[in-house]
């Protein structure tokens, strides 16, 4: 999944999501709804930041959830920012991602 993200492949990244999967702020509003919403939203992000890259610093798995501590750079010269992402799974598909920043 991170390989597709770092390749800026919105279609490949979104393929990991359930049809009704979403991305949201932690305990907050959904920012990209459904697999199609994730794909179109990430395509827009990758178009705006064509050198976007995330590095996984730590990962934790518990039940049907995976939490990643990521360091994201929008470009090689941009100041990086850290984010915690919590991926919830339903079977082998992502049902929800929450961003903590």
- Closest of 89, 86, 90, 79 to residue 101, by C-alpha: 86
Domain ranges of the chain: 2-100
**Average model confidence (pLDDT) across the chain:** 97
pTM: predicted TM-score of the whole model, two decimal places: 0.92
Kindly indicate whether the domain formed by 2-100 is annotated with CATH number 3.10.450.50. yes
Interval 34-63 mean pLDDT: 98
Chain centroid to Cα 92, Å, comes to: 16
pLDDT tens digits for 52-86?
999 999 999 999 999 999 999 999 999 999 999 99
Q: Please, which residues have CB within 8 angstroms of residue 20's CB and are 6 or more apart in sequence? A: 34, 35, 95
Interval 29-42 mean pLDDT: 97
């Amino acid at each position: 999944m991170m390989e597709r993200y770092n390749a800026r492949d919105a279609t490949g990244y979104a393929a990991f999501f359930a049809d009704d999967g979403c991305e949201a702020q932690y305990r907050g509003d959904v920012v990209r709804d459904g697999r199609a919403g994730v794909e179109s939203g990430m395509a827009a992000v990758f178009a705006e930041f064509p050198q976007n890259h995330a590095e996984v610093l730590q990962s934790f798995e518990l039940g049907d959830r995976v939490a990643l501590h990521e360091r994201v750079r929008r470009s090689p010269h941009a100041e990086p920012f850290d984010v915690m992402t919590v991926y919830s799974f339903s079977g082998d598909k992502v049902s929800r991602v929450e961003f903590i920043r």
